[in-house]
């Protein structure tokens, strides 16, 4: 994307964004904003694994046709 930048911001109580960096002087056009809150909590690997194991998008892995590998396949990683 030409003339794009990436920065962080704070959302004020009136839902206005206050950017942590100034935009270039020549930057005056419509922009796309994607709001991704910073994670205040520690990463919970078990919660992610639970969510993934229960997600229907992975149900195809239970099909016998997908079980194509054995314990003898591959090379051990050490």
Q: What phi, psi does 26 have (nearest 5°)?
A: -80, 0
Tell me, yes or no, whether 29 lies in a domain: yes
Residue 16 near residue 22, CB atoms below 8 Å: no
Whole-angstrom distance, CA of residue 74 vs CA of residue 78? 13
Note the pLDDT tens digit of each residue in 24-59: 887 788 888 888 777 766 667 888 888 888 888 888
Inside any domain, residue 49: yes
Q: Does 30 fall in a domain? A: yes
Token representation of residue 12: 């004020």
Residue 59, both tokens: 């149900």
The pLDDT assigned to 13 comes to: 92
pLDDT, mean of residues 70-74: 87
Count of C-beta atoms within a 10 Å radius of residue 17: 13
Total domain count for the chain?
1
Tell me the pLDDT band of 7, cut-offs 50, 70 and 90: confident
**Is residue 72 in a domain?**
no
Domain that holds residue 23: 9-66
Q: Is residue 74 part of a domain?
A: no
The answer to the question of residue 34 being in a domain is yes
Mean pLDDT of 57-72: 87
3-state secondary structure of 68: coil
């Amino acid at each position: 994307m030409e003339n794009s930048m990436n920065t962080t911001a704070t959302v004020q109580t009136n839902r206005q964004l206050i950017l942590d960096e100034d935009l270039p002087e020549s930057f005056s056009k419509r922009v796309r904003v994607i709001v991704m809150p910073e994670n205040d909590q520690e990463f919970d690997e078990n919660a992610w694994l639970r969510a993934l194991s229960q997600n229907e998008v992975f149900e195809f892995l239970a099909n016998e046709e997908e079980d194509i590998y054995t314990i003898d396949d591959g090379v051990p990683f050490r």
